[in-house]
């Protein structure tokens, strides 16, 4: 029951963050926000599969969905948001085409890949126990390359922030660096869950790390996309009609009329 409750909480949290990020994309139409919305939707699907497996028992369709969304396509979509944010639209569009093709190929592979061993309904299987080489290679490559892009983006943002001297542009660079560091911390937390090597007694730990990792990702997204605080402006009070403007030398005493 504890694992089921944790998996349900992870699913609801990831779904809420995905909806919030997608709403931000609808308002601003920034492509990195759309990529992050897709990544959070993939994390939600992976958590939902975990929830279904913990509550109803593991079977082939549930584990295939869990493996696809929780081990293969989620991190590349996350990395795509980093590419859009730091490298611009042209590079992001090229990367988006590659991620889309890779995700479609992975979905086809997971749909038809034969199982090499039985699935215990009460245990979250290891990928090496039930899949051949190709699905496991896809999981390893997608996770490692996607994580490398995310961590590389964090390092690059930090470097740009250190180069900035002062002023609003430097402050924005520091904010972006912090956002990417938080996103990288979220990705590291998700990787620490041991997705491909989990067993039944580690499902609760995976649900906890999934919840914490998604929360860190969402916090990083908010830092990256929220506008920086406006600088303090000098407000000049309008003078009333007919009133004398204040003297630059200070207040002047009123003189009686003669």
Write out the E strands in the chain. none
Does residue 258 fall inside a structural domain? no
Q: What percent of the chain has pLDDT over 70?
A: 79
Residue-by-residue DSSP string for 217-252 = HHHHHHHHHSPPPPPP-PPPPPPPTTPPPPPTT---
> Looking at 115-129, 150-164, 193-207, 230-244, which range is the least confident one?
230-244
Does residue 249 fall inside a structural domain? no
Q: Are 94 and 156 in contact (CB under 8 A)?
A: no
Does residue 84 fall inside a structural domain? yes
CA distances from 40 to 83, 120, 212 (A): 16, 28, 13
Provide the domain count of the chain.
1
Does residue 26 fall inside a structural domain? yes
In the predicted model, is pLDDT for residue 18 greater than 80? yes
Read off the pLDDT of residues 165-215 as tens digits, 9 standing for 90 and up.
Answer: 545 566 777 777 788 788 888 888 877 665 444 444 567 777 778 888 888
| CATH code where residue 200 lies | 1.20.1070
Distance CA 186, CA 216 (A): 5
Q: Are 142 and 126 in contact (CB under 8 A)?
A: no
Residue 204 CA, chain-centre distance (Å), reads 22
Helix, strand and coil percent figures for the chain, each rounded to 5: 75, 0, 25
Mean pLDDT of 58-75: 92
Does residue 111 fall inside a structural domain? yes
Residue 52, domain extent: 2-225
Three-class secondary structure of residue 234 per DSSP: coil
pLDDT value for 115: 92
In the predicted model, is pLDDT for residue 4 greater than 50? yes
Does residue 243 fall inside a structural domain? no
Does residue 75 fall inside a structural domain? yes
Does residue 148 fall inside a structural domain? yes
Higher pLDDT, 40 or 254: 40
Residue 204: Cβ-neighbour burial (10 angstroms; 0-12, 13-18, 19+): middle
Q: Which helix (H) or strand (E) holds 33?
A: helix 31-56
Distance CA 138, CA 195 (A): 14
Q: Is the dihedral of CA 234, 237, 238, 239 positive or negative?
A: negative
Q: Is the dihedral of CA 120, 123, 129, 134 positive or negative?
A: positive
């Amino acid at each position: 029951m504890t694992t089921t409750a944790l998996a349900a909480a992870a699913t609801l949290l990831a779904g809420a963050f995905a909806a919030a990020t997608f709403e931000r994309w609808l308002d601003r139409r920034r492509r990195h926000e759309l990529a992050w919305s897709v990544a959070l939707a993939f994390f939600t699907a992976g958590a939902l599969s975990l929830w279904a497996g913990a509550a109803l028992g593991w079977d082939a369709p549930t584990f295939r969905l869990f493996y696809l969304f929780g081990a293969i396509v989620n991190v590349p979509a996350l990395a795509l948001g980093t590419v859009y944010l730091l490298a611009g639209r042209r590079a992001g569009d090229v990367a988006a085409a590659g991620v889309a093709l890779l995700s479609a190929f992975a979905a086809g592979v997971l749909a038809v890949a034969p199982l090499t061993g039985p699935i215990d309904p009460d245990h979250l299987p290891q990928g090496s126990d039930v899949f051949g080489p190709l699905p496991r290679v896809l999981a390893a490559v997608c996770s490692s390359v996607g994580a490398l892009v995310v961590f590389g983006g964090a390092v690059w943002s930090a470097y740009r922030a250190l180069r900035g001297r002062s002023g609003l542009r430097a402050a924005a660079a520091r904010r972006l660096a912090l956002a990417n560091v938080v996103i990288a911390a979220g990705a590291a937390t998700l990787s620490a869950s041991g997705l491909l090597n989990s067993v039944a007694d580690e499902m609760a730990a995976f649900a906890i790390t999934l919840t914490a990792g998604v929360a860190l990702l969402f916090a990083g997204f908010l830092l990256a996309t929220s506008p920086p605080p406006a600088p303090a402006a000098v407000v000049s009070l309008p003078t009333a009609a007919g009133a004398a403007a204040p003297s630059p030398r200070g207040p002047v005493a009123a003189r009686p009329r003669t």
